[in-house]
Structure 1
Amino acid sequence: MISRESFAGLFRNRFLWVAVIMLAVSGGAVALASSGGSEAAPADLGSRILDRMRTTLERADPGQHNHGGQHVAAGDPAKAEVICGVRVYGYEPAEVTALADVRTVYGFHLCGIAEPKRPWDVAVKLAGPLIMDLSTEPPGIQVVEATADVMYVDRLRQMFPQKYADLASREALAESEMTELRRRYDDAAGL
């Protein structure tokens, strides 16, 4: 049998342990709350390149995508927003680990001009393999297009290193990226 003094001592110790645990948990929650809002965990290089590529394309005037003959249809072009999905095939120099050291990105883009209430199926779209030059500000955007003298596939092989040209000739956006692109487009177009 436990004496009253021993029981009180146990209770005091348990109470002390509960207090210590509660302080530790609340201190951890405060630390998470204070660090979570101000500084997110650094993204990996691939994610940072994707974000930079998407942001650059969405901020660029559609004419900067270098697609000949594309224009915003009826309506106020000032109210149109460019919404893009992207895929990175690779970058150079390939051995770098920081976004600031990346000079050239080889990838694919599919962008829709989100005019108010204009559905995706009839939106002006800009799509295809591209090279983004991150050594300039703003980054340069060069898309692969056929010319009067050079067919599209030949032009792709002229502009892209072989390993990226092979990818570009058979791969576009991942399904998850396409789903997110359509969701963002519908939001921007008010659909």
Structure 2
Amino acid sequence: MLSKLLLILASAATLANSQSASSIDPSSVPIATRQAWCTAQKSACPLLCLQITTGVPQVNNCSAETLSYSCICSNSVAPNASEYSQTMPYFICTEANSQCIKNCADSACQSKCQSDNPCGAQNPPRVNVTTTTASSAAASTTSAAATVVETGGATGAAPRAYSVDMGHVSGLCVLVGSVVAGLAVLL
């Protein structure tokens, strides 16, 4: 039952994605370029899935001949690939804009090509957020601690926290200063 549902979802996703390719004729793009697009799409799929779930995608296919693709995550959700760069919808959109611009006679027409058909995320979801906080103990100013959280960006990597104990840093500065002062006295 589950495999039939996945097959139906994959077929629907492929149909929807192949319909988006109708904005350009696949044969108008060199096959090597289309193959590179498929490679990028297949590389992007696991990264897109990491934004919404864990695990590897259930379906990750791409056809350079038709510019159709399927990306279905382990939770049976197909991410909105049009919200990201280096995906098939992005490549198709930018190529459609390039072809439109080539057919224009003036700059107003060229500008209209891009403004009428924006590529990439228009209102991207914020998945990872970078936060900086600092706290200090009220009793002692030398025991201040700062924590910086870095995110993995578009890769979906888990945040890493770095903690710097200002007491250790100031102690190291005093030690180095003492050594330098001692050497200065001896010389």
Interval containing the TM-score (normalised by the shorter chain): under 0.3
Structure with the higher fraction of residues in strand conformation? 1
Structure with the higher fraction of residues in helix conformation? 2
**TM-score after normalising by structure 1:** 0.24
**TM-score after normalising by structure 2:** 0.24
Greater RCO, CA 8 A, separation 6+ = 1
